[in-house]
Every structure is written in structure tokens, then in C-alpha cells.
Amino acid sequence: MKFELRVALRYLRSRHKSRFISIVTFISVAGVAVGVMALIVVLSVMNGFDRDLRQKIVGVNPHIYIQESGGIDNPDKLINKLKDIKHIEGASPFIEGQAMFKKDKQASGVLIRGIDSKREVGVTNIESYIIKGSLPNGKNDIVIGNQLAKAFNLKIGDIITAISPIDRRGFEFKVKGIFSSGMYEYDSTLAYISLSSAQSFFGAKNLVGAIGIKTDNLFLAKEIKKDIIKKLGFGYWVRTWMEVNKNLFSSLKLEKTVMFIILVLIVLVASFNIISTLIMTVMEKTKDVGILKSLGATRKSIALIFTYCGLIIGTLGTIIGAGIGFLLCYLLKTYKFIKLPPDIYYIETLPVQIKWSDSLVIGLAAILISYLATLYPAYQAAKLKPVEALRYE
């Protein structure tokens, strides 16, 4: 073990003449630990929000949308053209539009999506979300979200009237199934009907509104989009799930960055405690510094002793904070004891996803800040002259 590190450890282990210094040292370690713990927990929750929201969005919606002005009149021909493109797993035509549900004196706006049930299961996860009944296969079948079913007090076999936005005609549909995606926005406003029913409902004749594409890797959607545009040529509007939900994910990314900056300030406050601790330790160890220098210790060695003191405090705080942070994340993920109002936060429980890359950055940032906090006290200790240090001893 290096001489400087051994002395630094001895200084931290020894009982200070002033108990105040020991208290400030404890506060410094606790400050770094709290900062690191808060950063790990908050960023893990933000990552969890991002992951859960992404999974729920792509679970109900395609990875890529293909649209044409005025509608697509040859969906099968278009889908056949895409078969040679790599990473495409499925394609399904659909029509969607706004409508109004009406039952007795109750009315509410909904989003109706007409689908080809056989093809849709290869593009979205809607089949796995069905909790009662099945997907629509008849002309008057409809599948609704569980929150929408609660709002209208509907169950399997009940009749609901949907008013078309085209000619304001009322169409009666029989509830064929109820789904739960886990995302309040979809469960309370989305309904599925057959593609042929949607064409009649929206007055689309033989047209479809868009073709949904599923890829084997949703993060390759941008690259696959380029291949689709090259294959189909001009005249088609191709969008990825990231572009459709750009505002939502951009706001989440911004919130994550802001939270990181705010919580780093906690570690910065703790670093001021480290500075105070080291300055007081230097004052207390003035005699020791004088003796060490008189025995041949260099200015660099003295500076390293107090740098190691600060780094040990910072590293200890980082390890403790990381341990508590990971424990809290595990408890939140396992027991889900924090519930959220789904109509506000889209999801029902607090999600957690630990990213080890984020945790590594947090740990390194905390240790770096701790190191920077040692520079001034270490410099002051290194400047002490043996004669000045021992004059009054």
C-alpha cells in the first residue's frame, strides 16, 4: 500500500480532537450517498416510464405507418411489394377515425379502428390484450377498452351506438370483446371493428387509411423506413412510431436530463462538506504535516494524502448510495407498492428499469466531484512549510 494512502486511511480512522470534524465527515459521506441514491432511483424510474410507455404504444400501434393521399386502394399489392425488405415481420391494412359512442343519455368521443383481425395479430399485441371475448370477425362486432366498458357499463353481447362523422348516421355494434392494454388513454378511447365495417362507417368504399408494419427490431424503424420509401417510390407518406409520438418521448428525455442536473446539485452540496472537512483536518494536522515534511515528504505526497482522504469519503458515499439505490429499485420493481392514477400518468404502477450505463455515469460523476473538492484543501496542505507548521508546537 502506498505511503500516502496508508496515512490518509489512518487520518480517517483516528479519533479527531474535535468531534465536530467527525460529524462533518459523516455528513459528507451521507450527502454523497443521498445524492447517488436519489439519482439512481429517479433515473431508473424515468427509464422505466420510457420503456413501459414505449412497450404499450407499440403494443397497440404499428412500428411503421404507410399512408397515401386519399387512401390506399390496393393494400394487398402494396404489402406484396414489401415482402423482400429485411426486418419486416408483418403488415396489416387499417382505417381509423374519430366517432361518438352513444348509449341512452350518455355520449363520448372515441377512436374507432377498422382492422383485418387475421393480419392485425401479426402487427400489434391486441390479441394478447383481450381479457373477455375475442377480436371482431363479424360485420357488427366491436371490441372496446375496459375503461370504456366501465364508462358505458357495457359487457359482452351488449349493443352500443356509434355515430359516423361522415353523415352522422348511427351504427349499432355488438360488444364482441373487451381489452386491457394497461394504458388508460387507449383503454378509455379506443375501439376495434372489422375492416369492412369501418369502410362502411367512414364511407371509404374499398379504400384503407393506412398499412401498419411490424419490424423485428423497433429501434431499426428509421432504417427500414428508408428502404420502404426506396421500394415504393414517391406518393406515399411513411412514418415511424418515434415520429408519431415524437413530442411525448422528447418531453420524457428532457425531464430525465433536467432531473439528472437537479440531483447532481445534491452531490455538489455534499462536496462543499468534503471541502470543509478537509480544511479542518488540515488545520488539525498542521503539526503532522510539519513532521512529515521534516522527515522528507514532498509537497506532492502531502497533497496526495488529503486528496485520498476526500476520495475515500466520496467513494464510500457513492458505494453506500448505490447500494441503497439498487435496493430501493428492487423493492419498487418487485412489490410495486407505489400506485399511480392511470388517467394522469398513463400507467398504474411506478415502473423501474436500472440501466447500468446510467449507474456507472452517476458513480463516476460523484467520485469526480469528490476529487475536485479535494484540490483546494490538498493544495493548502502542500504549501505548509515545516518551520511554520512546528513553530508553536
Across 313-341, average pLDDT: 91
CA–CA separation, 277 and 32 (whole Å): 14
Quickly list DSSP for 76-127. HHHHHHTTTSTTEEEEEEEEEEEEEEEETTEEEEEEEEEE-HHHHTTTSSHH
Across 126-138, average pLDDT: 94
Contact predicate 198/93, CB 8 Å: no
Amino acid at 220: L
* Bigger pLDDT: 271 vs 191: 191
Q: Give phi and psi for 143, each to the nearest 5.
A: -120, 130
pLDDT reported for residue 94: 97
Q: Give phi and psi for 256, each to the nearest 5.
A: -65, -45
What percent of the chain shows pLDDT beyond 90?
57
pLDDT reported for residue 224: 96
pLDDT reported for residue 311: 92
- Most trustworthy range by pLDDT among 35-49, 273-287, 375-389: 35-49
Which helix (H) or strand (E) element contains residue 225? helix 221-232
The conformational region for residue 157 under phi > 0 = left, psi -120 to 50 = alpha, else beta, is left
pLDDT band at residue 393 using 50, 70 and 90 as cut-offs = low
pLDDT reported for residue 15: 55
- Give Cα separations from 387 to 286, 291, 292, 345, 393 (angstroms): 11, 9, 12, 66, 10
Cα angle, residue 24 at apex, residues 23 and 29 outer, rounded to 5°:
100
pLDDT reported for residue 387: 60
pLDDT band at residue 14 using 50, 70 and 90 as cut-offs = low
Across 338-349, average pLDDT: 76
Across 117-122, average pLDDT: 95
pLDDT in tens, 346-382: 677 888 999 999 899 999 999 999 999 999 988 888 8
Which helix (H) or strand (E) element contains residue 65? strand 64-68
pLDDT in tens, 296-305: 888 888 889 8
pLDDT in tens, 182-212: 888 899 999 999 999 999 999 988 899 999 9
pLDDT reported for residue 9: 78
pLDDT in tens, 237-248: 999 999 999 998
pLDDT reported for residue 338: 83
pLDDT reported for residue 7: 81
Across 264-272, average pLDDT: 84
pLDDT reported for residue 16: 52
pLDDT reported for residue 23: 76
Across 100-104, average pLDDT: 92
